[in-house]
Amino acid sequence: MKAIIPAAGLGTRFLPVTRVVPKEMLPIGAKPALELIVDEARAAGADEIVIVISEGKELIRRYFEGQGDIRFVYQKEQKGLGHAVLQAEIDDDALILLGDALVVGCCAAKEMVEVSKGHGGAAVIGCERVPKEKVSRYGIMKLDGDRIVDMVEKPAIEEAPSDIAVAGRYLLPAAIFGYLKTQTPGKGGEIQLTDAIRRMLSERDAYAYVYPGKRQDIGNPDGYFAALEAYRGNS
């Protein structure tokens, strides 16, 4: 298994600091947030980590350069999360950890690897319950037990099949890259990872795992403050 950490976003919700400091490099204590995510990937057993960056985010590269299990690829155009993941194409199971989603209080990725083993190596998506009024910010699951029947990216409240949302962690087979290559733009005109997974569901089982830790969205100042507090309370 290899890990992919998409960290190519422009950080527009966190200006002006993101003009020079990528949001993923903001400190949580003495470590950049991204290093905590790298630690999570290693703890889950990833033997290589591919970080997807964009031009202007070279600070990430400088910080991690020299760590033998990490390499970098560029996303040259902002075409969506699915497109970012595709830039890191690997020929192995892919543990995807969003670079602005910090999970405090548990090692979500490691637990997802265990859940996958329990399902014969099937795909697992890390999820959280969200308040009904916020479903339109997330990928939302339609479930049968914990098996994913369908999923929809950022639905309107009245169209949301549940309150179980994709929460920044995915364990997917290498086959996902085939679906990403033929994926047409969806919500927001972007190539959505959710849409590619959705197409994969017709051929492969996937399961939702509501992990016990709390996801912190460090892509905006409020989320970042919350992450600092959660991390402090946990360490």
Residue 111 in contact with ligand G1P, rule: CB under 6 A? no
Rounded to 5°, the CA angle 73-48-196 comes to: 60
DSSP-H helix ranges across the chain: 33-43, 58-64, 81-87, 108-118, 176-181, 193-200, 221-234
Residue 22 in contact with ligand G1P, rule: CB under 6 A? no
Residue 186 in contact with ligand G1P, rule: CB under 6 A? no
Residue 97 in contact with ligand G1P, rule: CB under 6 A? no
Sign of CA dihedral 64, 24, 198, 207: positive
* Bridge partners, 152 (sequence order): 140
With CB under 6 A as the contact rule, the residue among 166, 180, 197, 208 that binds ligand G1P is 166
Nearer Cβ to ligand G1P, position 69 or 161? 161
> Hey, what's the torsion of the CAs at 174, 176, 177, 180, to 10 degrees?
-170
N-term to C-term CA, the chain = 28
Residue 95 in contact with ligand G1P, rule: CB under 6 A? no
Residue 167 in contact with ligand G1P, rule: CB under 6 A? yes
Nearer Cβ to ligand G1P, position 111 or 153? 153
Nearer Cβ to ligand G1P, position 22 or 139? 139
Three-state DSSP class for residue 92: coil
3-state helix/strand/coil string of 131-172: CHHHHHHCEEEEEECCEEEEEEECCCHHHCCCCEEEEEEEEE
Q: Cβ-closest residue to ligand G1P?
A: 139
CB of 98 to ligand G1P, least distance (A): 5
Site string for ligand G1P, 64-83 (x = CB under 6 A): -----------------x--
Residue 38 in contact with ligand G1P, rule: CB under 6 A? no
Residues of the shown chain interacting with ligand G1P in the complex, contacts defined by CB under 6 A: 81, 98, 101, 138-139, 153, 165-168, 192, 194
